[in-house]
Amino acid sequence: MPRPKEFDEENALDAAIAVFREHGFEGSSTQMLVDAMGVGRQSIYDTFGDKWQLYCSSVRRYSAAESQTHLSALRSKPRAMEGIRAMVDRIVGDAHHACLGVGSICEFGDTRRDLAEIHAVSERALHAAISKRLREAQADGDVSPEVDARQAAEFLLASFAGIRIAARRGANARQLRSLADMALRALR
């Protein structure tokens, strides 16, 4: 009879996320994960599978949480443009923390189908929600009616990645704010 798990899987997965955020897949050794997660190597394998499966579980959990946080900011204001600005402000405010989503795309692109599918789920949800808010902002007169909402949503998502990458390379708060303001000005 197998022994019951003596650790919290969600806490262990959050610890793995922290390691992968900072070091990526290739830069994260199994020993780093064992140390951070506070569990034995065999417990990781028994619970999460191999390192790749743990990585995919981490990206899935991180992407779902980030998407929800983005959506909450986007919907936090009654006026659509203010919700969009709140989401952009959140990106700028958090940009100096490594992003597992952007990091995994930089590391693997679309070469791993399982990982690409994880990204596609959150991207579809964010793209649809941003497009909807952009159309609302157009109806409010805050975004140019000539702007294609779907293309603008893609542009904003790409801008978010750019802001996070700029932060990772050392951009300061003023530089990040400037990038965000430029993205918002493109909507007018």
Residue 12 lies in a domain: no
The Cα 176–Cα 50 span in angstroms is 37
CATH number of the domain enclosing 129: 1.10.357.10
How much is the CA Rg of the chain, to the nearest whole Å? 19
* 119 domain residue, yes or no: yes
pLDDT in tens, 85-143: 999 999 999 999 999 999 999 999 999 999 999 999 999 999 999 999 999 999 999 99
**Does 179 map to a domain?**
yes
pTM for the structure as a whole = 0.91
Other Cβ atoms within 10 Å of 130 Cβ, number: 26
Rounded CA-CA distance 64/153 in Å is 18
Whether 107 is covered by a domain: the verdict is yes
Q: What is the DSSP string of 45-72?
A: HHHH-SHHHHHHHHHHHHHHHHHHHHHH
Total of domains in the chain: 1
**Position 1 in a domain:** no
| Residue 5, pLDDT score | 58
